[in-house]
Amino acid sequence: MKNYEKKEEYNTQITEILSDNYKTIIEKLGEDVNREGLEKTPERVAKAMQYLTHGYEINPLEILTSAMFTEDHKQMIVVKDIEVYSMCEHHMLPFFGKAHVAYIPNGKIVGLSKIPRIVDAFARRMQVQERLTDQIKDCIEEALKPLGVAVVIEAQHMCMQMRGIQKQNSVTTTSSFTGAFEKDKTRKEFISLISNKLS
């Protein structure tokens, strides 16, 4: 039986710089960075932060255009309950929840797995939920030129739950619509589909 070997690739120079900075932060907070539990923490955090913000290295538009297909389907396509993990740019604390994305094709469809991929690509950056919602919508709009796009994100923010107002059960909902989804009937159909569990 082979030993498990974890393989991760990080920029060595960036890891070293971030590690030094996190070591200083830990010391300034009053901790002993040389004690056993914290000895490797600066490097771990440096690598974690690179992973949590790796969306800067991804082109979401290329993700969509790599899997576009000609199709004469003109009904709503919904991908709901997409897990979202992002980092609030104001306090560098996580926010997380679900994204619901829909579009109505206009001659082109995209591979279904690409929708969650672009959500993740934009989420893995320093973000605010409002911008994240618009970026997902705008990317789909630019790539597919559909008849309409709808994006709703529901998220909990650690900056509200762990600090500040400390409201543990609060959920923030943002939405962005274009084209056909600006019409009341179409928007209501989308909201109904993402709100109800289909049997």
For the question of residue 88 being annotated catalytic, the response is yes
Query: Residues 6 or more apart from 43 whose CB is under 8 A from it?
Result: 15, 19
Marked catalytic residue, from 50, 100, 127, 129: 129
**Nearest partner of 102 among 175, 197, 198, judged by Cα:** 175
Marked catalytic residue, from 16, 27, 141, 159: 159
Angle at 102 between CA 96 and CA 108, to 5 degrees: 130
Marked catalytic residue, from 100, 135, 139, 157: 157
Marked catalytic residue, from 62, 71, 73, 90: 90
**Nearest partner of 114 among 176, 52, 66, 175, judged by Cα:** 66
For the question of residue 129 being annotated catalytic, the response is yes
For the question of residue 91 being annotated catalytic, the response is yes
| Residue 4 DSSP label | P
Marked catalytic residue, from 88, 100, 127, 135: 88
For the beta carbon of residue 87, count every other beta carbon within 10 angstroms: 21
Marked catalytic residue, from 27, 91, 141, 154: 91
Marked catalytic residue, from 31, 39, 57, 89: 89
For the beta carbon of residue 196, count every other beta carbon within 10 angstroms: 8
Q: Which residues are catalytic?
A: 88-91, 129, 157, 159
